[in-house]
Chains A and B, each alone.
Chain A
Amino acid sequence: MAFLALDNLTKSFGSHIAVDRLTLGVEKGEFVSLLGPSGCGKTTTLQMIAGFVEPSAGAITLEGRNLRAVKPAKRGLGIVFQSYALFPHMTVAENVSFGLEMQGIAAAERARRVGETLDLVGLGEFAGRFPRQLSGGQQQRVALARALVIRPQILLLDEPLSNLDAKLREEMQIELRQIQRTVGTTTILVTHDQGEAMALSDRIVVMNHGRAEQIGPPHEAYERPATAFVAGFLGKTNLVNGASVRPERISFAASGLAGTVKTRIFQGNHWLYQVDTADGLVTVIRQNTGEAMPEEGAAVHLAWGAS
């Protein structure tokens, strides 16, 4: 049996089913992302694991024992909330120390572990500050440190990066993955950003309307989407002759599907084409290698390998 197992987990609010018979096994040390559009039930799933939302049906087991029978305060999970939910009246060190205090750990040991964890997230010198005096990215790291310091069996992250700007988000993604590798904590990340999910995870769970549409490694879900929804959600896709083809798999060739270039957009490292063909509009992405590319209005042929 998996380290953490969700078995037909269901939650309905009145007649609305927020999570529908979700079955998922997470291995020890694994990084799994719940990915899906807004309102698909990601947060509800996470809150059920944390114990703040009571499931309508189904089972949650951690190392074989029934987690639903354990109170939220006793589950020993580390949670990073979307809003961070830092304690504003406590300093960074006090925030991080709180969980250890609740475990009854002696002051000296507490101070050592707080220092260690703050160094891990790169906030060593901010220990004495209050949350208000920190930037968004720093607050996010405090929340992470606060969750990690109690050495949780599972780390639950609810869109921890969605409040950060694009550049900082990328930096934090790399940092988050590094920290997770170092500490080796089993992690479940909730996100609606497919790039983030694919960059960080060992496996992703693509959710829609409360159901898991596909569970698997990112590249597998990307290359072999189980449903049209997964294909569309994980990136741009073309439907040609009833098959779905990723835009970057299509190239300009001497022969193949004939068409004319309708629009051409330069995006730095690549070109984005819309080509008018007998099968309708086809999106094509080509790496920018510095070579001359077909211009708007040019007649082209499209080719792609069977994948």
Chain B
Amino acid sequence: MAYLLSLPALLLFAGVVVIPLAMTVILTFHDWGQYKGIEPVFILKNWREVFGDPYYGEMFGRTFRIALIVTVLAALFGAPEAYILNRMKSPWRGIFLLVVLGPLLISVVARTLGWALLFGGNSGLVNKVLLSLGVISGAIPFMFTETGMVVALVHVLMPYMVLSVWAALQRLDPQIENAAVALGAGPLTVLRRIVLPQAMPGILSGGVIVFALAASAFATPAIIGGRRLKVASTLVYDEFLNTLNWPLGAVVAVLLLAALAMIVIGANRLVERRYAQVFG
């Protein structure tokens, strides 16, 4: 009987996830021509093109490289941020939590445009100031660069890392650091040997979320990378809405999804196997 109760949810899942996904997979095998449009046949042309043309390899490489760098940076900045936040006293904690979560409250487009205005070309505010002060001789490139995408993505996705690590830190016994200190540990040893290992599950699960969101992000790479510097999601968008080569776009979309699913499931397995015994 209990299974019946989950039926509506299952039907909804099938309706909005499984069926469109299956249709996308089928689409990858259809033919497409500039003038004839989509032809419902079964061919491997699109798959061959994606695997044969180094352009796509480069594009996927860029997508996952950006996602990886963003994840590492988010962990590097987010974990200490969560630690500090966790140690703050009541009124400050609330205020700083709002600051940390701020990026989530502002629309992606507005936020990314803000970055673009600050750094965009010679007319960007920061570049203008630095140029006029003579600190730099040429504008720091931001628009249409991987660096720009990484900076903007780290900014957006950091809250997920902070929240995830914070959740892990909140399970920490408040006396545990004192226990280590009483045994003679200095502040750095306490951080490295006691706090970090216990924050690790939070950092890893936050990392999985950030990686998945960075690899599939659309708005930020679309605004900063434009049509010059494409990542998987902006390429799919272009194929679907500009070139109208749906089958090719479908191949890229399916590959992105498969790669992400594999990475996320693999990472989860790893985390579970490593920590089941310790944290249960």
Of the candidates B181, B183, B193, the one whose C-beta lies within 8 Å of that of A150 is B183
Q: Report whether A99 and B184 are in contact in the complex, using a CB–CB cutoff of 8 Å.
A: yes
| Complex interface residues of chain B between 145 and 182 (CB less than 8 A to chain A) | 173, 175-176, 178-182
A residues in contact with B194, CB < 8 Å: 87
B residues in contact with A89, CB < 8 Å: 197-198, 278-279
Complexed CA–CA distance, A166 and B279 (Å): 28
Complexed CA–CA distance, A306 and B15 (Å): 89
Given known A81-B179, A89-B198, A102-B189, contact A150–B184 (CB-CB < 8 A) = yes
Complexed CA–CA distance, A301 and B183 (Å): 60
Of the candidates A74, A87, A88, the one whose C-beta lies within 8 Å of that of B184 is A74
Assess whether A189 is interfacial by the CB under 8 Å rule: no
B residues in contact with A85, CB < 8 Å: 173, 175-176, 178-179
Q: Report whether B180 and A79 are in contact in the complex, using a CB–CB cutoff of 8 Å.
A: no
Q: Report whether A83 and B184 are in contact in the complex, using a CB–CB cutoff of 8 Å.
A: no
Of the candidates A73, A76, A88, the one whose C-beta lies within 8 Å of that of B186 is A73
Number of interface residues of B (CB under 8 A): 21
B residues in contact with A82, CB < 8 Å: 175
Assess whether B280 is interfacial by the CB under 8 Å rule: yes
Q: Report whether A76 and B184 are in contact in the complex, using a CB–CB cutoff of 8 Å.
A: yes
Assess whether A19 is interfacial by the CB under 8 Å rule: no
| Complex interface residues of chain B between 176 and 221 (CB less than 8 A to chain A) | 176, 178-186, 189, 193-194, 197-198
Assess whether A110 is interfacial by the CB under 8 Å rule: no
Complexed CA–CA distance, A87 and B176 (Å): 7
Q: Report whether A132 and B178 are in contact in the complex, using a CB–CB cutoff of 8 Å.
A: no
Complexed CA–CA distance, A88 and B186 (Å): 19
Complexed CA–CA distance, A132 and B182 (Å): 22
B residues in contact with A86, CB < 8 Å: 176, 179
Q: Which residue of A lies closest to B196 (CB)?
A: A89
Q: Report whether B280 and A132 are in contact in the complex, using a CB–CB cutoff of 8 Å.
A: yes
Assess whether A52 is interfacial by the CB under 8 Å rule: yes
Shortest B199–chain A CB gap in Å is 10
Of the candidates B173, B184, B279, B280, the one whose C-beta lies within 8 Å of that of A102 is B184
Contact with A along B95-130 (1 / 0, CB 8 A): 000000000000000000000000000000000000
A residues in contact with B184, CB < 8 Å: 73-74, 76, 99, 102-103, 150
Assess whether A130 is interfacial by the CB under 8 Å rule: yes
Q: Report whether B181 and A73 are in contact in the complex, using a CB–CB cutoff of 8 Å.
A: yes
Which residue, of B183, B185, B279, B280, has the highest number of chain A Cβ atoms within 10 A?
Answer: B183
Q: Report whether B179 and A79 are in contact in the complex, using a CB–CB cutoff of 8 Å.
A: yes
Given known A83-B175, A102-B189, contact A88–B279 (CB-CB < 8 A) = yes
Assess whether B277 is interfacial by the CB under 8 Å rule: yes
B residues in contact with A83, CB < 8 Å: 173, 175
Shortest B37–chain A CB gap in Å is 59
Q: Which residue of A lies closest to B280 (CB)?
A: A132
Assess whether A50 is interfacial by the CB under 8 Å rule: yes
A residues in contact with B280, CB < 8 Å: 132
Complexed CA–CA distance, A98 and B180 (Å): 8
Of the candidates A52, A73, A133, A146, the one whose C-beta lies within 8 Å of that of B185 is A73
Complexed CA–CA distance, A88 and B172 (Å): 9
Q: Which residue of A lies closest to B190 (CB)?
A: A73
Q: Report whether A79 and B182 are in contact in the complex, using a CB–CB cutoff of 8 Å.
A: yes
Contact with B along A125-143 (1 / 0, CB 8 A): 0000010110000000000
Contact with B along A81-112 (1 / 0, CB 8 A): 11101111100000000110011000000000
Shortest B144–chain A CB gap in Å is 44
Q: Report whether B278 and A88 are in contact in the complex, using a CB–CB cutoff of 8 Å.
A: yes
| Complex interface residues of chain A between 138 and 165 (CB less than 8 A to chain B) | 146, 150
Which residue, of B175, B182, B198, B279, has the highest number of chain A Cβ atoms within 10 A?
Answer: B182
Shortest B64–chain A CB gap in Å is 30
Given known A81-B178, A85-B175, A85-B178, contact A102–B278 (CB-CB < 8 A) = no
B residues in contact with A130, CB < 8 Å: 277-278
A residues in contact with B186, CB < 8 Å: 73
Assess whether A77 is interfacial by the CB under 8 Å rule: yes
Q: Which residue of B lies closest to A72 (CB)?
A: B181
List the interface of chain B (C-beta within 8 A of A). Answer: 173, 175-176, 178-186, 189, 193-194, 197-198, 277-280
Instruction: Please give me the 5 A-B residue pairs with the lowest Cβ-Cβ distance, nearest first.
Output: A102-B184, A99-B183, A85-B179, A85-B175, A89-B197
Known A87-B180, A98-B183, A99-B183; further 13 A-B contacts with Cβ < 8 A:
A52-B178, A73-B181, A75-B182, A78-B182, A81-B175, A82-B175, A83-B173, A85-B173, A85-B175, A87-B179, A130-B278, A132-B279, A150-B183
- Could you list some 5 contacts between A and B, CB below 8 A? A74-B184, A86-B179, A87-B179, A98-B180, A99-B183
List the interface of chain A (C-beta within 8 A of B). Answer: 50, 52, 72-79, 81-83, 85-89, 98-99, 102-103, 130, 132-133, 146, 150
